Amino acid sequence: MCLILFSLQQNDAYPLVVIANRDEYYARPTQTAHWWPDTPGIFAGRDLTARGTWMGVNKNGRFAAVTNVREPGSFGPARLSRGKLTRDFLSSREPAETFLKSIESSADDYAGFNLLVGDSSGLYFYSNRHPAIRCIPPGIYGISNGMFDEHWPKLENGKQALADALQQGIDDDILMQILTDDAPANDNALPKTGVSLDIERLLSSRFIRSPDYGTRACSVVRFSRDSEISFVEQNFVNSEKIGILIKEKFQINGVD
């Protein structure tokens, strides 16, 4: 997951709205969002290499998402996959803050990560590159591959687009359009993260296209005031070919 835009307690009908893009190499084996048979109650996509997930929800109303931190050449291979963090939170019943405290001692076993966990009543953020557990107040925020809510162009214009969409009413098609915008940022607005200008430009758009790497899933997740979760995921086979559209809706603490 490389772009997460979310609204917390900014809409009367939907206290939590998350729209997010997963950017990954097209060759990495992946399963689209589904109910996990080996961990009942989790609905999420799955990385079939490490068996974790970039973003998911569960029947108890828990939410988790993770992005990597862009740090080219700085760190060697990690002992653990970042997708384990989200999987473990969705599998647990610990309060979000307690869970984050429990992983602090092992945070260096992972490559750089930004982790967002909680539910519609409250979210917490933790990164092993800016270590401090953060309780997120109500508002509209963005997370990509830098610091929390950093002033990257796609975060700034994405948050504004999300705020505008919330004013117009909650429409999945409009929210999905925010995620599929592939316009790059102006060169003078690009962040400097240690990669070449061409790569910074490529990665500056919300929706990323290249021959081998790009946005593989666009997800819209809504938590309603009536304890219903809606999860819409549009998958992409590659930069030109659209894949499966997943739609799931369920009551928190409901049954299949």
**Host domain of residue 175:** 3-251
Residue 253, pLDDT score = 86
Res 74 pLDDT > 80: no
Res 254 pLDDT > 70: no
Residue 256 lies in a domain: no
**For a pLDDT cut of 90, what percent of the chain falls above it?**
91
Task: Give the C-alpha separation, 180 to 90, whole Å.
Answer: 27
Q: Are strands 139-143 and 3-8 parallel, antiparallel or unpaired?
A: antiparallel
Burial 145-183 (b: 16+ CB within 10 A, else e): bbebbeebbbbebbbebbeebbeeebeeebbbebbeeee
Residue 156 lies in a domain: yes
Residue 205 lies in a domain: yes
Number of domains in the chain: 1
For the chain, what is the mean pLDDT? 95
Residue 8 lies in a domain: yes
**What is the pLDDT averaged over residues 64-84?**
87
219 pLDDT tier (thresholds 50, 70, 90): very high
What DSSP state is assigned to residue 110?
Answer: B
Res 75 pLDDT > 70: no
Q: Which residues contact 162 (CB under 8 A, 6 or more apart)?
A: 5, 6, 7, 17, 19, 140, 175, 178
169-211 confidence digits (pLDDT tens): 889 999 999 999 999 999 999 998 999 999 999 999 999 999 9
255 pLDDT tier (thresholds 50, 70, 90): very low
Residue 116 near residue 65, CB atoms below 8 Å: yes
**What is the pLDDT averaged over residues 227-248?**
97
CATH code, 82:
3.60.60.10
93-112 confidence digits (pLDDT tens): 999 999 999 999 999 999 99
User: DSSP states of 147-192 as a string?
Assistant: STT---HHHHHHHHHHHHHHHH---HHHHHHHHT--PPPPGGG---
List helix spans (H) across 108-152. Answer: none
User: Around Cβ 251, how many Cβ atoms within 10 Å?
Assistant: 13
Residue 236 near residue 243, CB atoms below 8 Å: yes
**For a pLDDT cut of 70, what percent of the chain falls above it?**
97
CA angle 61, 117, 181 (to 5 degrees): 95
Q: Which residues contact 106 (CB under 8 A, 6 or more apart)?
A: 80
Q: Which residues contact 74 (CB under 8 A, 6 or more apart)?
A: 194
> For the CA atoms of 170, 171, 174, 176, what is the dihedral angle to 10 degrees?
100
